[in-house]
Amino acid sequence: MSSPGCDRIKEFPGRTILLSHHQLFSAFSPIGPADAHGKQSAVNPQLLKAFKQMTETKGVAAWFWGHEHTLGIYKPFAGLERGRCLGHGAVPVSVTDKIYEPLSNLDDTPALLDQSELGTTGGVYNHGYALLTFNGGSCRAEYYQAANNRRALIFDESFS
């Protein structure tokens, strides 16, 4: 039996973009259980179960979340083609936090796309945002960082 949310996704004729607070996976926070050797899973098992239900009949175009206070544009991982952390909008994060240093005890580590990390200003990572533009059946996503009253495009992509 699937959840009502999964049923709505199956009924919709187009592809789905998921928006949530928590993420399917992380290279930087422990979210999954540990195995017998102490290696932790990078994947949240409850969200993975729901994600698999959602994608039984068609794929998810992208999943955007914000739990971690950073920008993370991930390579495909755990069956998700576009996992995007957009948590870099408000809370200042010190460079001493090393937000782009993956945990060393993961069984499999999700990787970020090259050159998609935030810059720093004054000892903290830059804030930023993303813009989604819809045109027919396609979506363009632009990822920005802001510093010194200027914005800079970090990465852009289009998908349908």
Distance CA 17, CA 116 (A): 20
Span 47-75, pLDDT tens digits: 999 899 888 888 899 999 999 999 999 99
At 5, the pLDDT band (50, 70, 90 cuts) reads low
At 7, the pLDDT band (50, 70, 90 cuts) reads confident
pTM of the shown model: 0.91
Average pLDDT over residues 30-40: 88
More confident residue, 30 or 22: 22
Tokens 């999964």, located at residue: 6
Q: How big is the chain by its Cα radius of gyration, in Å?
A: 16
At 43, the pLDDT band (50, 70, 90 cuts) reads very high
Distance CA 148, CA 116 (A): 19
Span 106-160, pLDDT tens digits: 989 999 998 889 999 999 999 999 999 999 889 999 999 999 999 999 999 999 9
Torsion angle, CA of 146/81/64/72, rounded to 10 degrees? -40
Residue whose C-alpha is closest to residue 51's, from 32, 24, 90: 24
